[in-house]
Amino acid sequence: MIAKLAWKNLWFKPLNTVLSLVLLTASVAIISLLILLQEQFEKQFSSNIDGVDLVLGAQGSPLQLILSSVYHVDAPTGNIDYKEAEVWMKHPFVETAIPLAFGDNYRGFKIVGTTPDYIKKYTATIADGKVFEKNFEVVIGSEIAKKLSIKLGDKFFGTHGDAEEGHLHEEYAYVVVGIASPTGKVIDNLILCTVESVWEMHSGHDHGGEAHSEGENPPHGEEGHIHVEGDEHDHEEHVHDENCNHDHEEGHDHEVSENPAHGEEGHVHEEGDEHDHDEAKEITAVLVKFKNKMGIISWPRMIAQNTKMQAALPAIEINRLFSLFGIGLQALQYLAYGIMLISGISIFIALYNRLKERKYEFALLRVSGASRIQMLGLVLFESLLLCLVGFIFGTLFGRFALVMISSTTDEQFKMAFNPMTIIWEKEGILFLVTIFVGILAAVIPAVKAYRLNISKTLANA
């Protein structure tokens, strides 16, 4: 009976109730959204740097290097010489060193040249098919397979650079030989192949159309750089064509050599001593895990002083990012709690005015047999009922907002958030705070209802 009466009392003045409910719902929705965003954002970022102590890459912003190489959400700082990086990759301190070579994408999903160790790093398995072994064989992430409905044996052409509308590489087709298991990490949205595939793709791209006349695969020299700047290195460049034709006229022998870094055959053509001055093969970055943690302390300074590369520490850069990200989230949380405080004041005013306007009804309830405790409980229950409805609506709206945000981040950064996740501890605290606001707002009206003088109230009626 008290619950039914409390519900009817709430809608005695619907505009006041709706205002209080809207303010409370808005504050709970904002706080709930921030809790889910912060928790999942930090969890995804932390899980992706597991097993990465240091990242080798081109000089520039360390944070940009981490974001581009570990999380694939930014443009790379540039390329580095593979032979120079290989010296550090074989250092006794190093447990694993995973090279990464960027350059192309397929329908917005990045194609990454790497080794099978990259799959192991993310604790992924091959759910269907096998690991890539030959050039232009690829393993695709589980999200790509789901979103694009790609199957084993499918073939596709890569697009140069990071943009979907870039130059289409029609020299070679990638073949899907494996589909990785879902991990909830960045690998779910990547297309993986051998580093040599990226080199060969861009080597053929540089040499132009005449290279195709030599056989099924065009010859490729030492200019196998990974370009991420757009379509400026079009296959019609006359300078590369002339160099390529000159190489064939000289009759250089093309030998297939074994790549020592990857333990598999790569199509690296040696063209004589007069070409030793040509630029070496390039990669974008190397993910390093140390056996001896002294490398974490000494390598950044040593590499900066002795090479043209930089060594960025993911733990430091991501903590810096979290601190910057946390400032914005904290400001929004303060705003949301401010809105909740205002909603509490609104509930207090509504209950207080309602008590003044309906004190004769309360007096009649007392005459009808209702106790003081029941009057106090009635007012408290009205406030708590309003807070409970506001919390439920706020939680639902917060998750709806997360769905909207997730669709945008998934499209632009290939990072999705799960709206069905429940953060029991933090959301439990939010629920208790909401209930506390309701109790606080109802204390004074409830006490006045408890102390209501029946005879005086009815005498003045």
CA–CA distance, 255 with 76 (Å, rounded to integer): 32
Each residue of 117-147: b (16+ CB within 10 Å) or e? ebbebbebebebbebbeebbbbbbbbbbbee
**pLDDT tens-digit map of 390-410:** 999 999 999 999 999 998 888
pLDDT at position 411, please? 81
Phi first, then psi: give them for residue 451, nearest 5 degrees: -90, 10
Q: Determine the Cα angle at 47 with ends 174 and 197, to 5°.
A: 20
What is the crossing angle of helices 14-48 and 424-450, to 10°?
160
> Parallel, antiparallel, or unpaired: how do β-strands 174-180 and 137-140 relate?
parallel
Only one residue has tokens 């333990």, namely 263
- Radius of gyration of the CA atoms of the chain, in A: 32
Q: Which residues of the chain register pLDDT less than 50? A: 205-279
DSSP reduced 3-state for 290: strand
Does the reported pTM lie above 0.85? Answer: no
CA–CA distance, 189 with 410 (Å, rounded to integer): 10
CA–CA distance, 119 with 183 (Å, rounded to integer): 10
Sign of the four-CA dihedral 151, 156, 159, 163? negative
CA–CA distance, 54 with 265 (Å, rounded to integer): 28
Partner residues linked to 193 by β-bridges: 113
Tokens for 24, please give them: 């409370």
pLDDT at position 166, please? 77
What is the crossing angle of helices 195-207 and 238-250, to 10°?
100
Phi first, then psi: give them for residue 58, nearest 5 degrees: -70, 155
Tokens for 98, please give them: 């995973």
CA–CA distance, 273 with 253 (Å, rounded to integer): 12
Q: Are 333 and 28 in contact (CB under 8 A)?
A: no
Extended strands (E) in 86-140:
94-106, 109-114, 126-129, 137-140
What are the helix (H) ranges across 279-313?
A: 294-306
CA–CA distance, 313 with 295 (Å, rounded to integer): 11
What is the crossing angle of helices 2-10 and 372-413, to 10°?
60
Q: Are 343 and 438 in contact (CB under 8 A)?
A: no
